[in-house]
């Protein structure tokens, strides 16, 4: 018989994965989600109406499954407890339709001081997307992302890996400039994030490069700093994500350009190898 601690651990893992799925769907703006409906029905885990869950009986069932598994296969006692990963499904939306939903946005206080809303720009079929934190003064004035000094450096970085700016997609977590170029608050970012996710679903880039702590933490929902996570591919619902330093930080500390170059070479090599495997 399986120890109760192991059984409880498997149950908690299933519940955690289901909650992550619900959170992701809510970030996309899906309403009316019932968390329980996200948990797949599994043998030994469902509770019949009017009856209490019998953990002892469940453990006995699992023990019998284990005996069969030893003789026949290595499948889990419960079957496959891990729900399929939540992948970003291809959307039929256009970017213009998403921007129309943004409208003359007043969802957070940042609208009070902005000059323009700064939407994502670039190739609608891009394999590579760059995501920063929010527009700066130049971007706010021109209504385009990454056009100031940091943007000029980003353009050089893109060209260094053999691409042109117009071949990639460039955007930010937030579309309005925060006062004094401060990072957007979590509440401000939460207002814009669903639109960014919809853009990702519409374009389906193969790789997203997140620039700096704010973009990384908002997209990946992790607490580590960029210095600990950069340089290693992360996964965001089936999309490869490479965290690296923000170009504005590189202007303040040029010594980090070498590390950024190493990160972008990994992105370039992945895109090259993926293209060859598809041909």
78 assigned to some structural domain = no
Do residue 124 and residue 242 come from a single domain?
A: yes
Do residue 64 and residue 112 come from a single domain?
A: no
266 assigned to some structural domain = yes
Do residue 164 and residue 250 come from a single domain?
A: yes
Q: Where in the sequence is the domain holding 66, given as residue range(s)?
A: 4-72
89 assigned to some structural domain = no
Least confident stretch, 33-37, 38-42, 152-156, 261-265: 38-42
CB 174 within 8 A of CB 133: yes
CA end-to-end span of the chain, whole Å?
Answer: 51
Do residue 271 and residue 193 come from a single domain?
A: yes
Do residue 222 and residue 151 come from a single domain?
A: yes
Residue 71: which H helix or E strand, with range? Answer: helix 55-72
79 assigned to some structural domain = no
81 assigned to some structural domain = no
Do residue 38 and residue 168 come from a single domain?
A: no
224 assigned to some structural domain = yes
Do residue 252 and residue 166 come from a single domain?
A: yes
Domain count, the chain: 2
- Distances from the Cα of 47 to the Cα of 43, 50, 52, angstroms: 10, 8, 7
Do residue 14 and residue 135 come from a single domain?
A: no
Among the three residues 35, 57, 72, which one is the final residue of a domain in this structure? 72
Among the three residues 57, 72, 87, which one is the final residue of a domain in this structure? 72
Among the three residues 12, 41, 72, which one is the final residue of a domain in this structure? 72
* pLDDT digits 0-9 by tens, 180-228: 999 999 999 999 999 999 999 999 999 999 999 999 999 998 889 999 9
* pLDDT digits 0-9 by tens, 138-193: 999 999 999 999 999 999 999 999 999 999 999 999 999 999 999 999 999 999 99
Do residue 201 and residue 268 come from a single domain?
A: yes
What's 111's domain CATH number? 3.40.470.10
83 assigned to some structural domain = no
Do residue 253 and residue 124 come from a single domain?
A: yes
Do residue 116 and residue 250 come from a single domain?
A: yes
CB 184 within 8 A of CB 217: no
* pLDDT digits 0-9 by tens, 43-94: 333 444 444 444 444 555 555 555 555 444 444 444 555 555 567 788 999 9
Do residue 102 and residue 49 come from a single domain?
A: no
CB 21 within 8 A of CB 86: yes
CA angle centred on 235, ends 152 and 161, rounded to 5°: 30
229 assigned to some structural domain = yes
């Amino acid at each position: 018989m399986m120890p109760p601690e192991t059984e409880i651990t498997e149950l908690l893992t299933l519940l955690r994965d289901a909650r992550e799925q619900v959170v992701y769907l809510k970030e996309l703006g899906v309403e009316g989600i019932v968390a329980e409906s996200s948990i797949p029905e599994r043998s030994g885990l469902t509770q019949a109406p009017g009856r209490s869950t019998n953990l002892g009986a469940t453990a006995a069932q699992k023990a019998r499954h284990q005996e069969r598994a030893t003789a026949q296969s290595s499948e889990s006692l419960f079957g496959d407890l891990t729900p399929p990963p939540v992948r970003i499904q291809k959307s039929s939306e256009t970017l213009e339709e998403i921007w129309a939903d943004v409208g003359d946005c007043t969802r957070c206080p940042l609208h009070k001081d902005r000059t323009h809303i700064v939407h994502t720009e670039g190739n609608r079929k891009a394999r590579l997307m760059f995501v920063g934190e929010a527009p700066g003064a130049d971007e706010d004035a021109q209504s385009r992302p990454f056009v100031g000094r940091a943007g000029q450096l980003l353009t050089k970085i893109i060209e260094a890996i053999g691409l042109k700016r117009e071949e990639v997609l460039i955007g930010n977590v937030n579309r309005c400039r925060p006062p004094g170029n401060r990072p957007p608050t979590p509440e401000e970012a939460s207002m814009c994030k669903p639109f960014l996710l919809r853009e990702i679903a519409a374009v389906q880039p193969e790789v997203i490069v997140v620039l700096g702590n704010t973009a990384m933490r908002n997209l990946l929902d992790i607490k580590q700093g960029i210095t600990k996570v950069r340089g290693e591919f992360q996964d965001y619902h089936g999309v490869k994500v490479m965290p690296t330093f923000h170009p504005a930080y590189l202007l303040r500390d040029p010594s980090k350009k070498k590390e950024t170059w190493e990160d972008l070479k990994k992105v370039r090599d992945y895109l090259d190898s993926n293209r060859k495997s598809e041909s």
